[in-house]
Structure 1
């Protein structure tokens, strides 16, 4: 009878330790999940902010201003347009001339 009581006591103690360990792991995982959700929310808001900045930087007026100031580009006009024609080279010799 004493052996049975000791075996049951050991099982209860082992079960209690396992329960404490499981609760600890559950809380640890919950806090990790909460931190990950907060980081995901932060990254999502930062991504939205960067998208807004990207759209602001790519406006046609800003691009044209940068092109004229920094790259010294100017609008195309027929007076400054240069046309390039490509001539196809003709074969130097043909079969009949050899």
Structure 2
């Protein structure tokens, strides 16, 4: 009977130690989950701020201002517009018109 008591006592001590270890790991994991959730909220806030900043940077007025200042762009007016002509383009409408008239009876 004494041996059985010693074996049961050892099992009780080992299970108690295992229970303490598992509780410690559970608390440690819970703290890690809380930290991850705090970091997630911080990243979501930062992402929302970046989205707002991106929308503010992409407004048409800002894009036009940057195009004028940094890229030296200007609005197109007839005074600065250059038209390219194609030599074959002048004969193409005439050929199409004569071809269209030739098909009629």
TM-score, normalised with respect to structure 2 = 0.78
2:31 maps to 1:54: no
CA positional deviation for 1:85: 4.9
CA positional deviation for 1:2: 0.8
| RMSD after superposition | 1.6
Most deviating of 4-13 and 68-77: 68-77
Per-residue CA deviations over 1:2-38 (Å, capped at 9, x if unaligned) read 1000000000000000100010000000000000000
Compare CA radii of gyration and give the structure with the larger one: 2
Partners of 1:68 and 1:48 lie apart in 2 by 29
Mark the runs of 5 or more structure 1 residues left unpaired by the alignment: 89-98
Per-residue CA deviations over 1:54-84 (Å, capped at 9, x if unaligned) read 0001110011011111111000112212233
Mark the runs of 5 or more structure 2 residues left unpaired by the alignment: 89-105
Higher helix share: 2
Moved over 4 A (4+): 85-88
Query: How many pairs are equivalent?
Result: 88
CA positional deviation for 1:86: 6.2
